[in-house]
Amino acid sequence: MSQAKLAHHFESVEQQFDTAKLGMWIFLLTEIMFFSVLFVAYTVYRASHADAFQYASQFLDTNLGAANTLLLLLSSFTAAWAVRCAQLGQKRGLMLNLLVTVVCALGFMGIKYHEYSHKYHEGLLWGGARHSIFKADPAQVLPEMKHGHEGGGESVWESHHVETMDPALKKQVGIFFGIYFCLTGLHGIHVLVGIGVMLWLLWRASRDHFGPDNFTAVDLGALYWHLVDLIWIFLFPLLYLIS
């Protein structure tokens, strides 16, 4: 296990570690501010159109959302455990935990992909999207979005009588989906970045880069990952559990 390299502008390894850690915390603060824009948008529209949000939220699959929540919680746990392993110099444990973290994150993205494609096929999109069933003018909804699916089931357009829906409500449902896709999309991008970080750590771990005196990168990667999880912990109830 290697020793940490001391950069020329630091006095000691401890100073270097503390500095890196503070830098990461500040970066996480900027991330929170970044997401806060969409949380503000969410709050504003939900406060003014509570009924539309409640209505729209029924189209989200709570089971899939809950499964994703569990996956991320588990991955946060393994990320923390990975840090512990790095501190103790347990290379196998470190790699195993990083691997489980990556697998959970991939599972999350898989479920997310499934949800997205389902929404897309049903036309559960913001009003401005080509395939949306919530367009202001019902005549502009694509014919294939209106009618039943090959599998036989009814389309959302039919089952929820979107054609005759109150136009004001319909607009806000569209806004809900706009916010849903922006928030989960931005979060998804962060998950992808996290997967990249974890793979990079895994690669470095395999080359014996980490050890009891040198685990800064693992520690910072895990911190980032916890934030990504934490944001999802907020997203899940705010989007899926409105009722």
Partner 1 sequence: MTHAHDPSLNYLNCRKGLRSWLGTLDHKRIGVMYMWSIIASMILGGILAMLIRAELWAPNNGDPAQAVLSQDTYNQFFTLHGAIMIFLVIIPSIPAALGNFVLPMMLGAKDVAFPRINRLSYHLYLIGAALLVVSILTGGLDTGWTFYAPYSTTTETSVVVAVFGAFVLGFSSIFTGLNFIVTIHKMRPPGMGWFKMPLFLWALYATSIIQILATPVLGLALMLIAVERIMGVGIFNPELGGDPVLFQHLFWFYSHPAVYVMILPAMGVLSECFATFSRKHIFGYRFIAYSSIAIAIFSFIVWGHHMFVSGQSQLASVIFSALTFSVAIPSAIKVFNWVATMYKGSVSLDTPMLYALSVIWLFGIGGLTGLFLATLSTDIHLHDTYFVVAHFHFVMVGSALFSFLAGVHYWWPKMFGVMYREWPGRIACAVSFVGFNLTFIPQFLAGTHGMPRRYWDYHPMYEPYNKVSTIGAVILGLGLVWALVNLLRSFGSGRQAPANPWGAATLEWMTPSPAPPHNFDFAPAVGDPYDMDLVRYDESIDGYVPVRPHPDDPHIPLVEPAEQEDEQ
Q: Which residues bind partner 1 (CB under 8 A)?
A: 7-10, 15, 18-19, 22-23, 26-27, 29-31, 33-38, 40-41, 44-45, 126-129, 136, 168, 171-172, 174-175, 178-179, 181-182, 186
Minimum Å distance from CB 122 to partner 1?
18
Least distance CB 148 / partner 1 (angstroms):
27
Q: What is the DSSP secondary-structure string of 53-88? A: HHHHHTTS-HHHHHHHHHHHHHHHHHHHHHHHHHHH
b/e for 75-98, b at 16 or more Cβ within 10 A?
bbebbbbbbebbbebbbeebbbbb
Residue 57 Cβ, how far from partner 1 at the closest point, in Å? 16
Nearest residue (CB) to partner 1, 112 versus 171: 171
User: What is the distance between the alpha carbons of residues 56 and 173, in angstroms, rounded to a whole number?
Assistant: 6
The angle at the Cα of 55, spanning 54 to 57, to the nearest 5 degrees, equals 65
CA-CA distance, 222 to 28, in Å (whole number)? 12
Q: Residue 194 in contact with residue 228, Cβ under 8 Å?
A: yes
Q: Which of 78, 83, 80 is nearest to 102 (CA)?
A: 78
Least separation in angstroms between residue 212's CB and partner 1 is 22
Q: Rounded to the nearest whole angstrom, what is the least distance from the CB of residue 85 to partner 1 in the complex?
A: 26
The two tokens of residue 239 are: 């989007």
Query: Half-sphere exposure of 37 toward its Cβ, with a 13 Å CA cutoff?
Result: 7
Shorter beta-carbon distance to partner 1: residue 81 or 176? 176
The rounded distance, in Å, linking the Cα atoms of 147 and 142 is 10
Residue 8 C-beta: closest distance to partner 1, Å: 6
Q: Cβ closer to partner 1: 104 or 162?
A: 162
Report phi then psi at 214, rounded to 5.
-150, 80
CB of 105 to partner 1, least distance (A): 23
Which one, 110 or 128, has the nearer CB to partner 1?
128
* Nearer CB in complex with partner 1: 127/194: 127
Cβ-based nearer residue to partner 1, 180 or 225: 180
Nearer to partner 1, 5 or 8 (CB): 8
